[in-house]
Chains A and B, each alone.
Chain A
């Protein structure tokens, strides 16, 4: 069967897997973003704490993904939970790093003026510092998302959902019927999904960044 015929026939299945894939990624990134921004707010301005937090979350990225998925199976079982948990661990670092960078790059004079006019710590964070850091934070979330889309394909190795199932399934039956088409569809699907999410973030960034910035 040609790849075109294959797509024409199998697109409903591919579509379902792509949606699963996207769901898994977005859930993981949402959780990681909450953790990354939260920890970033707490440690920013404390160089030691920032370094420790960045080192720990950065080290996560050096653990091979297949190993991390596997390590989580005894704790969380098979399927989506270990996959999402692993993705969260990977996605925290870019968000945290950009949150720390973004908050630290708020100009001293702006911070000084905000303090001098009597804005509380919380008000400064909410009204001034986070909005100014926002484009950088959002870039961190975007990087985390793209990265996670690729890593999530490995999740099929622990029976996780998503396009990885096509890739793993295809590679396991290589030489069999549609094996190559499955692997190709899964791989291209991951790339297309990454591109689509990237565009989504570009749009989101345009919509949510003040016109006074940039």
Chain B
């Protein structure tokens, strides 16, 4: 099912905590492809954290094999293994007696880098996570907000440029608005650094947003479904998956589809002073600056202006814009801001893909 390189392979891994009647992880097999974000999703206590900590040997498996980059982790010195695996936790765990720069530079220091190289790396990482080095380098953790602490936590995990990152509910303790921003930043970051990331969450929305793939766990880390987010939302493998992703699954799936992938209706552009010509098409009136003002034709009347979206926006965003404009269609602009058509409510509901020239989105394939 997975093409390309496997960075992490769990092979019938089990973990039995002493004194517990049932195993926390029971015969789990899972391949994590290189350069992807795989989200471990499931209810509390289902074994997500245990699975994550098996990978960097903070927990030793009771049975099975774990390979990282082809190497059996139990054959490697755990400290050396962990320096190649970034680790980010919900409580961040910054060292309170060290400045931001010292926190980030600790692993490079342990690796024996010289001062100048550590300094340069610290500044580079602060820039990467969106914190200005001048402002933050010398601060102590107690003078950082929750969001800033987690950014520093990510920078620290990236310090020695590990190919793999493990993140355990990294945004779980952060307010919703900042959480959204940090999620967006993580995706931007990942687009640049292409790490292999295993991220734990119990939040379906977060999993769908961040995951290239989602591993949905039942209790005892039994794999209920391992697939692309769109597939999990659209074709849940069983009742457990269906009930876990919940009643909002269909709407959530729309976040994963682009407006440009759907069939658009033609739109006639009417400049100030001109009259609409083609009565069969929708016509939109522009102002002097070329901005859409309202629909000219009678067929569609947005009570609150024109809903405007871009081809790269999600279908979810388009529906949101339509509801806010109290209209049943949205004007679609291309990357240059020129109108290319209209997306109607019924197109979304019936999901007509665009013509042959522009293929339907295919979430089952690798990018």
Instruction: Flag if B79 contacts A110 (CB, 8 Å).
Output: no
Which residues from B are CB-within-8-Å of A109? 89, 91-93
- Which residue of A is nearest B99, CB measured? A212
CB of B320 to closest CB in A, whole Å: 37
Asked if A5 lies at the interface with its beta carbon under 8 angstroms from chain B, I say: no
Instruction: Flag if B140 contacts A113 (CB, 8 Å).
Output: no
Alpha-carbon distance between A128 and B110 when the two chains are bound, in angstroms: 12
Within 8 A of A (CB), among B26-74: 56, 58
Asked if B82 lies at the interface with its beta carbon under 8 angstroms from chain A, I say: yes
Instruction: Flag if B140 contacts A211 (CB, 8 Å).
Output: yes
Alpha-carbon distance between A107 and B95 when the two chains are bound, in angstroms: 10
- Which residue of B is nearest A121, CB measured? B79
Indicate which residue in A112, A118, A132 contacts B97 across the interface (CB closer than 8 Å): A132
Indicate which residue in B58, B91, B96 contacts A213 across the interface (CB closer than 8 Å): B96
Alpha-carbon distance between A128 and B97 when the two chains are bound, in angstroms: 8
Asked if A13 lies at the interface with its beta carbon under 8 angstroms from chain B, I say: no
Asked if A75 lies at the interface with its beta carbon under 8 angstroms from chain B, I say: no
A110-B96 contact given A117-B83, A117-B87, A118-B82, CB 8 Å threshold: yes
Alpha-carbon distance between A213 and B94 when the two chains are bound, in angstroms: 12
Instruction: Flag if A118 contacts B89 (CB, 8 Å).
Output: no
Asked if B351 lies at the interface with its beta carbon under 8 angstroms from chain A, I say: no
Q: Is the interface of A mostly helix, strand, loop or mixed?
A: helix
CB of B58 to closest CB in A, whole Å: 6
Instruction: Flag if B98 contacts A212 (CB, 8 Å).
Output: yes
Instruction: Flag if A116 contacts B97 (CB, 8 Å).
Output: no
Alpha-carbon distance between A116 and B141 when the two chains are bound, in angstroms: 19
Alpha-carbon distance between A109 and B141 when the two chains are bound, in angstroms: 14
Asked if B142 lies at the interface with its beta carbon under 8 angstroms from chain A, I say: yes
CB of B354 to closest CB in A, whole Å: 46
CB of B123 to closest CB in A, whole Å: 19
Asked if B107 lies at the interface with its beta carbon under 8 angstroms from chain A, I say: yes
- Which residue of B is nearest A116, CB measured? B87
Instruction: Flag if B95 contacts A118 (CB, 8 Å).
Output: no
Alpha-carbon distance between A6 and B342 when the two chains are bound, in angstroms: 105
Instruction: Flag if B79 contacts A120 (CB, 8 Å).
Output: yes
Asked if A30 lies at the interface with its beta carbon under 8 angstroms from chain B, I say: no
A212-B97 contact given A118-B81, A118-B83, A120-B79, CB 8 Å threshold: yes
A210-B97 contact given A116-B58, A117-B157, CB 8 Å threshold: yes
Asked if A173 lies at the interface with its beta carbon under 8 angstroms from chain B, I say: no
Which residues from B are CB-within-8-Å of A113? 87, 89, 92-95, 153, 156
- Which residue of A is nearest B80, CB measured? A118
Asked if B323 lies at the interface with its beta carbon under 8 angstroms from chain A, I say: no
Instruction: Flag if A112 contacts B106 (CB, 8 Å).
Output: no
Chain B, 75-90, contact with A by CB distance < 8 Å: what is the 0/1 string? 0001111110011010
Alpha-carbon distance between A113 and B149 when the two chains are bound, in angstroms: 13
CB of B104 to closest CB in A, whole Å: 11
Which residues from B are CB-within-8-Å of A213? 96-97
Asked if A131 lies at the interface with its beta carbon under 8 angstroms from chain B, I say: yes
A and B contact pairs by CB, cutoff 8 A, 26 listed: A107-B93, A109-B92, A109-B93, A110-B96, A111-B93, A112-B93, A113-B87, A113-B153, A114-B95, A115-B58, A116-B58, A116-B87, A116-B89, A118-B80, A118-B83, A118-B110, A119-B106, A119-B107, A120-B79, A127-B106, A132-B96, A210-B96, A210-B98, A211-B140, A212-B98, A212-B141
Interface residues of A (CB under 8 A from B): 107, 109-120, 123, 127-128, 131-132, 210-213
